[in-house]
Structure 1
C-alpha cells in the first residue's frame, strides 16, 4: 500500500510539472501581408515611373536621373507615413550604398534574382525577422529591368556624358550593366509582425 501510495504521488507530481497544454504559437497571415503590401508596391512603381517619364520628356535622361534621386525617397517616405509600414528600395547592385540588401533578406533577394517574374508578374517574397516585440515581417517585390525607360540609365550602353552625370550624383554607383528582364532591385515593405500574426 505504501509503495503504491508513493507511486501515485510521483505520478501526480509529473503530471503537475507538465502543466496545462500550451496554446499553439501564432502563425503569420501571409495573405494579409500580401493584401496590405501589394497596393503600396504598385503605387510606388506607378508614381515613380510617371515622374521619371515626365522628367525625361522635359529634360532628357539627365533630368530623369536627378528627379529619380529625389522622387524615390520622397515617394517612399510619403507611403511609409500613410501606411504605417517602412517603404524603401534595396538592390545588390545599388545606386546608393544605403540601399544595399540587409543580410537577413539576402536569401529572399537571391530568390527574386533567380526568377524576377513569375506568371507575368513581379516575383514576391515574405520574410519574418526578429522575435517578440522586435519581430518584423518584410514583403519584397521584384523590380525587373525594363527596356524603357530603365535601360537608358541602368543598361549596358549608357551615354558617356550621362554616365558622368550619374557618377557625380552617385559616386559609389553599381547599378549599370543590366539586361532587360534581370532583377534591378526590390521594393521593400516592412511591417510590425504583430499586425499579421493569428
Structure 2
C-alpha cells in the first residue's frame, strides 16, 4: 500500500468510528432520558400514596369546627416530562405516548383543581377534595400502567375506572364531603 492509500484508509476508518461513536452516544442519551421518565413516574406513584393519606387527613380536619385554615397539598412537579418530552416523543411507541399523555394530563387536572381551591366558596371545598382524591386514584393507576408498559389506556378499562369512581365515592361518604353543600 502506498502512503496515499494508507492515509485515505485511515481517514475513512476514523470517519466511520466517529460516526458510530456519535450514534452510540445519541442512543445512550435517549435511553437515559426514557429511564428518567420512568423514574419520574415511579416518584409520582410513591407520592400518590402520601397524597391519599394527606387528603384523608385534610377531609377529617375539614369537618372539625376548630380548624381555621385548609392546609392543601402542593402541586405535583413534572420537570423531566416538560423538559424532554419533545425529544423523546419519536422514540416512544404510540401506546406509551398515550399512557404518558394520560398520566401527565391527569397531573395537569390535579394541579388546576388544586389551584382553584383558594378561590372556591367554602361550601364547595368538599367537592374539590373529592375531585382531588379522584385524580390521585387515577394517577396511581396511570403510573402503574406506565411502569408496567401496558398497551391499553386506563380510561379504556371500564372496570378500573368504575373502581376509581367507587373509591372516590367512598371517600366522599366517609367524610361527608358532599353533604356540606
For Structure 1 versus Structure 2, the TM-score category normalised by the shorter chain is: under 0.3
Normalising by structure 1, we get a TM-score of 0.25
Higher helix share goes to which structure? 2
Higher strand share goes to which structure? 1
Normalising by structure 2, we get a TM-score of 0.26
